[in-house]
Amino acid sequence: MTPFLQVVWTDDVTGRPGYLVIDRLGRGVGSGGLRMRAGVTLDEVADLARGMSRKEAIAYEPGLAYQPLGGAKGGIDCDPLDPEATGMLHRYIAAMKPLLATYWATGEDLGLRQESIEEACHAAGLRTSIDAVLPLLDDPDTALKRLDAAFAVTVDGIGLGDLAGGCGVAESALTALDRLGIREPTAVVQGFGSMGGATARFLARAGVRIVGVADADGLLTDPAGLDVEGLLRARDPFGRVPGDKRPREEWLDVDCDLLVPAAVSYCIGVDEAPRVRARLVVEAANVPVTPEAEHVLTSRGVVVVPDVVANSATNSWWWWTLFGDIPADADAAFAKIRSWMRRVTTEVMSDPARTPREAAHDLSARNLAAQR
């Protein structure tokens, strides 16, 4: 299906491109994060925007104040560590201001933090990065105060906004492990930023032994289990952890029951799929497994829980909180996330004739039809 809107922007300072794809509108708005990485492409952004449409549709729950939006995604072709990154972000946001004010609600994604996006939005004269959603609210001021209060909540020194997504991925993984009958599971997590770090924390606290953690610099392994809490305290703002590391590309070679790619897209292709030793892959990153690689994994009996299910909690938590379906409270957030993720993961794994991704696509289509 043709996207509602595609924008290609060229930065007049660096000459580098940026992109916005609004795949579809729901209630007049498309929702999806803004990522920054060197080499990001329009095709990648369009693929992610389609995934956001499915992720939003899966979140449909009759009776809630929050009803799903459409899907969108933004991308800036720049290394986040580049000295030009901040300036390029501000210029991109300024260029996209008319769309951010009316059609596109965004937030942090790969390479960007929410506070950086908000700073750029304020500099452009926008109230927030989700201005497009505010007309849907009965009382925007109260709703924004509730969301701000939720972002101010910390649990063991980590912000609730950074924990929500990982809680969802972990609960999805735990549900899948239960359905597969895997006891005393082991896991490898690729990426140790906000999503990967939080996922590892919730898995470890649920009794999963984390035997491998990969960051941008390399791979830490310990068959007896890594000290996840110690690594969280020691990581830098980019999710890098200290220690004697193996080459980072060896993360697929570690024996484990559960593999959680939580960093970059398309990191498991047809060349990498035969190396996967896990029985279960749960996608914390956006589209980490290519369609061709998933066919290889499925033929080997490896179950893949897709990103549109597994990593949907961050997006849903934002909207549940903003629309007042849950309070600005960690216990309420985790309870809602856990019950939601367990129900949806169970549903997409219940038909032995369908892969979880196929079942998720069917669920999103049914939900879209139910909203019309």
Token output for 97: 């201001």
Return the DSSP state at 214: E
Only one residue has tokens 């004269």, namely: 125
Other beta carbons within 10 angstroms of residue 54's beta carbon come to 24
Provide the residue type at 365 as one letter: A
- List, in sequence order, every residue forming a beta bridge with 281; answer none if it has no partner: 259, 304
Would residue 55 show up in a list of annotated catalytic residues for this protein? no
Q: Do 269 and 293 form a contact (C-beta atoms < 8 A)?
A: yes
Q: Do 42 and 69 form a contact (C-beta atoms < 8 A)?
A: no
Task: Identify which of 288, 48, 266 has the alpha carbon closest to the alpha carbon of residue 189.
Answer: 288
Crossing angle (nearest 10°) for helices 356-371 and 42-58: 70
Give the dihedral of Cα atoms 311, 313, 318, 320; nearest 10 deg: 150
Instruction: Tell me which of 73, 97, 145, 245 is the catalytic residue.
Output: 73
Output b/e per residue, 332-370; b: 16+ Cβ within 10 A.
ebbebbbebbeebbebbbeeeeebbbebbbebbeebbee
Largest pairwise CA distance in the chain: 55
Parallel, antiparallel, or unpaired for β 104-105 and 280-282?
Answer: unpaired
- List, by residue number, the catalytic residues: 73
